[in-house]
Amino acid sequence: MAELTTFEQFVKRVLEIVFWVLIFLPLVILPVFYLVYVLPVELQCNFVLLGCSHSIDWATALYMFSPNQLNPFDPTSFISSMGLGASSILFRAGFFPGLTFVAVLSSFVIWYERKLLAKMQYRVGPLYAGRVGGIFQSFADLFKLLFKEIVIPAKADRLMFLAPVFGMMALGGALIGIVPVGANEFVASSPYSLLIALAILSFFPLVTLIAGWASNNKFSFIGAIRALYQMISYEIPLILSVIGVVILAGSLDFTGIVNSQNKIWFIAPMILGAIVFYITAMAEVERIPFDLPEADSELVAGWLTEYTSMVFGTINLAIYIKLYAMSAIFTLLFLGGWSGPAPVPDFVWFLIKTIIVMTIFIIPRGANPRIRIDQLIDLGWVWLIGLSFLNIFIALVLKASGLL
């Protein structure tokens, strides 16, 4: 703002302020008027304005918007009766076991990962954003990404370049929709929920391939081709390693699998399956030592090279949602899911176990080099498939002998 030196400038500034106030007042006043004056009447008359007296019952209106009636956890409150309560599908998909919860958890995990790796490598890590050890670094990065320009390369295929953003986010949302957090905290449940999760996971290489091709950049394309090679080598052991658990539990439902672990967690009899699942899940979320598609020391940023701004941020969020989902599936299959001593709520137990599993997913990044593509294919087809078949035989023997 320039300093005011003359009277003309003062008048001009006043007129400017009046102008902007006149423009913005309707944008604020009309919604407030609607909320306070029109909406209570419409609600009282069940959204039929005609044939209803327009006198406002202020007592009822105030009652509706009192803090007590806005409590989403009370099933009898006004907001619950409008379908916005804690048990409604909108709340579950959007907030608690759904997207907001996982997004906040992901931003925490990004900070936690950077801090942990820094400690492992004698560095400091994020320090300045926020009071305690740079805890708001992820949010600072988010705002930085929000204000950056979205650059689409001139030779890129526009539609196919932007489609993976929506694809990744939709697949991430579908994954957290099918993974339960507690006995009653889930978005959707199905007798086939484990298979549905595997089916959603099989979409990701398609999206990666499209992104790498549409960028029209050799680094992106090589990254996408590597993602495909990686998928070919880990997808079969991933599905085979789960079969042992399914045989023991006799169910394809996450809830059924968790309930059948009340005697013993499946990590004890199915230790081979757990190891194979851990390795293949790490390849699935493209983490070091399996980050061949991203390989930042060889391929700039792999298949993400051309993505900028919030487009990059959204894809990265979906990748971290995938990390959360894989850790959650590991917890559900092998660590007894949400079972734990009573006074602590079940989803807290689930979160504690999931964050421990995430830590185990993160730790190799601090110490391990990247493996070669031929080593990866050798590992997948020779060792992991063999081990998972051995695991299936162990499960069959345990089931046939009636031990579990």
Task: Name the residues that contact another protein, by CB under 8 A.
Answer: 160, 190-192, 195-196, 198-199, 201-203, 205-206, 209-210, 213, 221, 225, 228, 231, 235, 239, 250, 252
What is the nearest approach in angstroms of another protein to the Cβ of residue 146? 30
Residue 342 CA to residue 183 CA, distance in Å, equals 13
- Least distance (Å) between residue 317 CB and another protein: 23
| DSSP H/E element including 177 | helix 158-178
Distance of closest approach, residue 71 Cβ to another protein, in angstroms: 35
Distance, in Å, from the CA atom of 336 to the CA atom of 245, rounded to the nearest integer, reads: 11
Residues 213 and 259: their CA atoms lie apart, in Å, by 44
Of 106 and 280, which CB lies nearer to another protein in the complex structure?
280
CB of 331 to another protein, least distance (A): 22
Task: Give the whole-angstrom CA distance, residue 180 versus residue 182.
Answer: 6
Angle at 102 between CA 96 and CA 107, to 5 degrees: 135
**Cβ proximity to another protein, 101 vs 213, nearer residue:** 213
- Closer by beta carbon to another protein, 200 or else 351: 200
Residue closest to 164 by CA, chosen among 199, 231, 214: 214
Give the separation between CA 84 and CA 73, rounded to whole angstroms.
10
Taking alpha carbons only, the member of 175, 166, 193, 169 closest to residue 97 is 175
Both tokens of 362, joined, read 């993160």
Q: Report the nearest approach of another protein to the CB of residue 381 (Å).
A: 11
Task: Name which of 137 and 233 has its Cβ closer to another protein.
Answer: 233
Please say which residue, 285 or 357, places its beta carbon nearer to another protein.
Answer: 285
> CB–CB of 290/372 below 8 Å?
no
Look-up: residue for tokens 């929709």?
Answer: 177
Instruction: State the minimum distance, in angstroms, from the CB of residue 111 to another protein.
Output: 33
CB 347 within 8 A of CB 198: no
Alpha-carbon gap, residue 380 to 233, rounded angstroms? 5
Instruction: Provide, rounded to whole angstroms, the least separation between the CB of residue 302 and another protein.
Output: 16
Strand (E) or helix (H) holding 144: helix 137-146
Pair 317, 172: CB distance under 8 Å: yes
**In the complex, minimum distance from the CB of residue 335 to another protein, in angstroms, rounded to a whole number:** 24
CB closer to another protein, 115 vs 226? 226
CA 136 distance to own-chain centroid: 18
Return the number of the residue (176 or 222) whose C-beta is nearest another protein.
Answer: 222
**Lookup result for tokens 């549905």:** 196
**The Cα angle at residue 224 between residues 223 and 228, in degrees rounded to 5:** 115
Omega of the bond prior to 289 within 30 degrees of 0, cis? yes
- Minimum CB separation of residue 228 from another protein in Å reads 5
